[in-house]
Chains A and B, each alone.
Chain A
Amino acid sequence: MHELSIAQEIYRTSRAAVAGHGAGRLETVKVAVGELSAVEPDLLVFAWQALTQGGPDAESELKVEWRPARQFCAGCNADKPRSPGSWLRLCPQCGMALAVSGGDELDVLQVTFLPDEAAGEGGVADG
């Protein structure tokens, strides 16, 4: 269970990315999680909620894009579908040995940030 450490790194990266945008709060953080990244998406979202709870970003949402690994068959020149969490050793169509590739993504893709209204472009100074 290392999803909390991963969530902390995502939070740190997201905050660093908006550091130049003034005060405000995170709205959404989009991440890519690969099937072979050893990270479980639901646990990551729970960890995010626990981490942001009670702080300025408590309303933020962590959106996980799942990136499955591929099982490509050179004989058929096509990716072979399989049921989630299972692997094929041989191509069901042509019998060629299949390898697993990709699915190791663990990236922060995009952050949407809501600047505080007082810091908005209106520039109305406090009386």
Chain B
Amino acid sequence: MAEVVDVRAKVLAANEEAAARLRGTFRTSGALVLNLISSPGSGKTTLLETTVKALAGRLRLAGIEGDVATERDADRLRAMGIPAVQILTGGACHLDARQVRKAIDEAAFPAFDVLFIENVGNLICPTSYDLGEDFKVALLSVTEGDDKPFKYPAIFSRAEVTVITKADLLPHVAFDMDAVRGQLATLAPSGAVLVTSAKTGEGIAEWCALLERRLAAKREAGA
């Protein structure tokens, strides 16, 4: 005779417990933590390089870079003068909280105000895994097309901030900004949308102001 066992458990409970412990660590240290998610080549690392330059001397930054292969992204951040560690997933399509914990423990970063976790380039799988971040940031470059929020609703509905990148290319591509804003309003009504270009600097000051505002709010709430 079969026995019926009620479970009612989250599938990713183990990851979520690890994420909750990370969140506790970052609450204690008063650091703002972002989980950046986008398709490959949308400009996550370039946005971070530009951010490091724009915030020079104002905030202490650190980076965790997730990639299937190569240390290239961590090297790019270190070349900008911030501590960075590379997580090589060897084929896995996302980072999970236990990998981030291990990276944090091994990296022994000097004290930081903002930690950027750059996820593996992928609009789908990283969505499911909480990394203990304060919020998720989705990036969408104008060359990817203006239909992406509705095509990848899971990430764009969970991202508190969507950063449109490569806005300098807008004259050269068919990208309907109003359509994108409309889709994002449906998926994430309270989310913020920033239009940026690392090349011209458009929107970078607003992006940095958002980081400073969120960091101040977190520290005020924790004080």
Contacts and interface: CB of A to CB of B under 8 A. Distances in A.
Given A37-B128, A38-B154, A113-B3, A106 B11 contact: yes
Interface string A76-103: 0000000000111100000001111000
A6 B11 CA distance: 7
Interface in A1-46: 1-2, 5-6, 9-10, 12-14, 17-18, 21, 27, 31, 35-39
Contacts of A2: 92-94, 124-125, 128
Interface of B: 2-15, 92-94, 124-125, 127-128, 150, 153-155, 157-158, 182-183, 185-187, 189
B7 A17 contact: yes
B153 A100 contact: yes
A74 interface: no
Interface residues of A, number: 39
22 contacts: A2-B124, A2-B125, A2-B128, A5-B92, A9-B11, A9-B12, A12-B14, A13-B11, A17-B7, A18-B5, A39-B128, A69-B153, A87-B186, A89-B182, A89-B185, A99-B187, A106-B11, A107-B11, A109-B7, A111-B7, A112-B2, A114-B3
B2 A13 contact: no
Contact of A107 (B9, B150, B153, B155): B9
Contacts of B9: 13, 17, 107-108
B11 A31 contact: yes
A97 B127 contact: no
